[in-house]
Amino acid sequence: MGKFRLSGMAACALAACAALPAGPAAAEVAIGVFVPTTGVLAPLGNDMRNGFLLAAKGAIVKGEPVRLIVEDTGGNPANGLRKAQKLVLEDKVSLLLGGASSAVTLGINAQAPRLNVPIVTTNAQAVPITGEQCSRFMFRTVPHDGNTAKASAAMFAERPDMIGRKWFVVYHDYAYGLSNKAEFSHIPGIQIAGEAGRPVGTADWSSAIAQIQASDADGIYLALAVGDDLTAFVNQARGYGLDFPIMTPAGIPDTMLQALGKNGVGMIANGLTASWMQEDESPQIAELVKAYHEEYGIVPGYQAIQAYAGMQFVLAVLEAADEISTDAIIKALEDTVAETVVGPIDIRAEDHQGMQGTFVAEAVALDPPRHGASIGWKPVTRMSWDQINLLPEETGCKGF
């Protein structure tokens, strides 16, 4: 049977500014949101929370109001699991949504059969989430590190000035960083001049910068979780005179770009899924940018846009499900294609990986500023899903 297509707007009247307020209700559909709103990953988690809240304003599913219950994971796997248990056992949510951190997402997925609710991540990118640790409960709406590496390979194939460089890989020594640097090293023809792994929460990068200076590198690849650590590295690297290209697999939130200022100009992202700067050609993105700026006073970063689109998808899925039960929602997640601000979101039933393309993008200075932003991610080259696709057998998913 073919996929069931649903317009997010038609399904449940999405848009506007905030979720329904927390509190008991006679009848409602409860969605549990798990994101880091404190700690080093807070810039990423807060963008995601804002996107979820913006998409859920006034949402109605099967005639009942939708309520979001947001819990702060702090980017810590043990804390993330406790919050997931609380959302399921105490708050009785029908679905878990979020997953800023791959480590947190994998930790929750390990207990998925006990939690017995669907889990949807709109950000976590470690390949094992829908690869060797895939499960019937876990779904991902965005590309993973392997897809990003294929986008990088396609970009490098067209850019001899980039493939000829010797790249020094700086990575976070945990799930996302390890997965990402491994995928980067598999790009055909890539030259790795060295690598430096550091724990999440590293504020002083001088020792890693010394390693780069001692190598023959002329490019830096950052397999760092998106948070305060990444901006600290970029500022210190530029301060030490490292002026060669800096590449991040999926960019950084636009709030962080503004903080970097001129140090961020010229950074390259090879797996960007969306940018607010697409407002010029996309009425849907333009409408989102307007609403987001009115609500939060800033432009939406790509995690906020991914979260908004992910919530549109989830609301459409819940409306399409035969009933609000785990089995029915899982079936609808596999069978529904929903129109969102980033285009259709379609989940592959074999491994629950979202089939979405990416962009190669460059951080550019804006003169004059737009919506208060003086720098933004400008998409340069579109990579279709067919160009970045990895099959389940290539990622290690052996079925459910």
Task: For residue 272, report the phi and psi dihedrals to the nearest 5 degrees.
Answer: -70, 130
What is the arithmetic mean of pLDDT over 316-333?
98
The single residue listed with the structure tokens 């279709």 is 384
Same domain assignment for residues 261 and 308: no
Three-class DSSP labels, 245-260: CEEECCCCCHHHHHHH
Q: How confident is the model at residue 2 (pLDDT cuts 50, 70, 90)?
A: low
What is the arithmetic mean of pLDDT over 82-109?
96
Q: How confident is the model at residue 176 (pLDDT cuts 50, 70, 90)?
A: confident
Which contacts qualify for 248-252: CB closer than 8 Å, 24 or more apart? 248/222, 248/224, 249/125, 249/145, 249/148, 249/149, 249/152, 249/180, 249/184, 249/222, 249/223, 250/125, 250/148, 250/226, 250/302, 250/358, 251/226, 251/302, 251/361, 251/363, 251/377, 252/226, 252/301
> Does residue 158 sit within a domain?
yes
> Does residue 398 sit within a domain?
no
Same domain assignment for residues 379 and 237: yes
The amino acid present at 362, given as its one-letter code, is: E
Q: How confident is the model at residue 24 (pLDDT cuts 50, 70, 90)?
A: very low
Looking at per-residue confidence, does 100 or 7 come out higher? 100
Same domain assignment for residues 157 and 252: yes
pLDDT single digits (tens) 203-234: 999 999 999 999 999 999 999 877 778 889 99
Length of the chain: 400
> Does residue 393 sit within a domain?
no
Spatial contact of 168 and 220, defined as CB atoms under 8 Å apart:
yes
Q: How confident is the model at residue 153 (pLDDT cuts 50, 70, 90)?
A: confident
Same domain assignment for residues 168 and 45: no
d(CA 333, CA 323): 13
> Does residue 203 sit within a domain?
yes
Same domain assignment for residues 120 and 264: no
pLDDT at 25: 44
Same domain assignment for residues 36 and 100: yes
> Does residue 215 sit within a domain?
yes
> Does residue 394 sit within a domain?
no
Q: Which domain holds residue 244?
A: 146-274+358-388
Same domain assignment for residues 258 and 326: no
Q: How confident is the model at residue 20 (pLDDT cuts 50, 70, 90)?
A: very low
Same domain assignment for residues 104 and 193: no
Same domain assignment for residues 342 and 239: no
Same domain assignment for residues 212 and 252: yes
Domain count, the chain: 2
What is the arithmetic mean of pLDDT over 108-130?
96
**0.85 cut: is pTM over it?**
yes
> Does residue 218 sit within a domain?
yes
Task: For residue 338, report the phi and psi dihedrals to the nearest 5 degrees.
Answer: -115, 135
Indicate which CATH number applies to the domain containing 52: 3.40.50.2300
pLDDT single digits (tens) 188-200: 889 999 999 999 8
Same domain assignment for residues 234 and 287: no
How much is the mean pLDDT over the chain? Answer: 91
pLDDT at 82: 97
Same domain assignment for residues 133 and 282: yes
pLDDT over 60 (residue 13): no
pLDDT at 149: 85
> Does residue 400 sit within a domain?
no
pLDDT single digits (tens) 225-267: 777 788 899 999 999 999 999 999 888 889 889 989 999 999 9
pLDDT single digits (tens) 45-58: 999 999 999 999 99
